Amino acid sequence: MTPYLLRHVLKAVVTLWAIVTVTFVATRLSGNPIDTFLGEGLTAEGRQALIDYFQLDRSLWHQYLAYLRGVLSGEFGLSFVDRRPVTTVVAERLWPSGQLLLTSVALTVAVSLPLGVLAAVYRRSWIGSAVMVVAFTGYAVPSFVLAIVMVLTFSYWLNWLPVVGNGTWLHFIMPTIAMSGGLIAALTRFTRNAMLDVLGQDFIRTARAKGLRETQVVLKHGLGNASITVISVIGLQIAGLAAAGSVVVESIFSWPGVGQMLVNAAILRDYPVLQFGVIAVAVAVVSINILTDIAYALADPRIRLARA
């Protein structure tokens, strides 16, 4: 397993370096941030002082090398907007995003696994057909459309749920459903397909021939073996949710998380915050992928031996 882990760590380092480089270049193409958030009220002397402090008058190559040195030394700079270390700015947003991500993942697993099992067991009845219709419908509806529909229905028309902020548990309901809607649909389909593959195996017929209860056959032998595939899918879906889903949903519901922070930083051209925010999200996504791959390898001895 050691060479296997080393290969994944090396790939992760290269991926993160590429993300840092692309993000740095992309942010510099948008223009001078000093003129954006300070405007005409800034004197020429003050403007030049800020440019010198943030090294915006240096060449792109010098800025890139300086930024890489800062990243390697743990110095990510100050926010252009509020003059605080970007690590502090991003750290304040991590827990709200983490709360929303955890609740979304919990809802996804709690709903999609039972639905996938039902769709597989009752694949020839109306129950399985109904589950798949719901799954395909949920997969086709984007998260921002679902969020807007819920805002109009439950907040604007019915006035049942709050829209902005994260003060109470009621604030979690709509963002959680919006983030997990597509994931529930996708994981339900993958669970059904994995269960169908397992339920057709010889050892399932052997378990039934021994007189085991159908519930034990389905849950212990069926879902237990299908979970090897489901684990990898869950990891990939969580990574996608952390990378893209939070940005859209947090912006719609004004959720004080990393996603909304990245949108605001992009609008204000706050390079240091935007760059470190993207790095933080990339580290989270890469880490989730590595842990998922390791869990997938540990769950299946054949994969573990092949990759050792």
Q: What pLDDT does 308 receive?
A: 47
Does 79 reside within a domain?
no
Report yes or no on 4 lying in a domain: no
> What per-residue confidence (pLDDT) applies to 306?
46
Quote the pLDDT of residue 215: 83
pLDDT digits (tens, 9 = 90+) for 21-64: 888 888 777 666 666 655 555 667 766 776 776 677 777 888 88
Residue 86 inside a domain? The answer is no
Confidence of residue 305 (pLDDT cuts 50, 70, 90): very low
pLDDT reported for residue 1: 55
Q: How many domains does the chain have?
A: 1
Q: What CATH number should be reported for the domain holding residue 177?
A: 1.10.3720.10
Taking Cα atoms as reference points, which of 289, 128, 114 lies closest to residue 184?
114
* pLDDT for residue 83 is more than 90: no
pLDDT tens digits, 85-128: 888 888 888 888 889 888 998 999 899 999 999 999 888 889 98
Beta-bridged to residue 38, according to DSSP, are none
Residue 111 lies in a domain: yes
Q: Please check the confidence at residue 174 and state whether its pLDDT lies above 70.
A: yes
Domain-located, residue 27: no
Query: Per the domain annotation, does 13 fall within a domain?
Result: no
**Residue 2, pLDDT above cutoff 80:** no
- Quick check: 258 and 97 in contact, CB under 8 A? yes
What does the pLDDT look like over 138-160, one tens digit per residue? 888 888 899 999 999 999 898 89
Domain extent, residue 237, equals 93-307
Residue 88 belongs to a domain? no
Per-residue model confidence as pLDDT tens digits over 258-284: 888 888 888 877 888 888 888 888 888
Q: List alpha helices for the chain, DSSP H.
A: 2-28, 33-38, 44-53, 60-73, 86-121, 126-140, 143-150, 170-199, 202-209, 214-216, 224-240, 246-252, 258-268, 271-299, 301-307
Question: Does any domain span residue 276?
Answer: yes
pLDDT at 211: 83
CA–CA separation, 119 and 129 (whole Å)? 7
Q: Report whether 248 contacts 143 (CB < 8 A).
A: yes
C-beta of residue 113 within 8 angstroms of C-beta of residue 187: yes
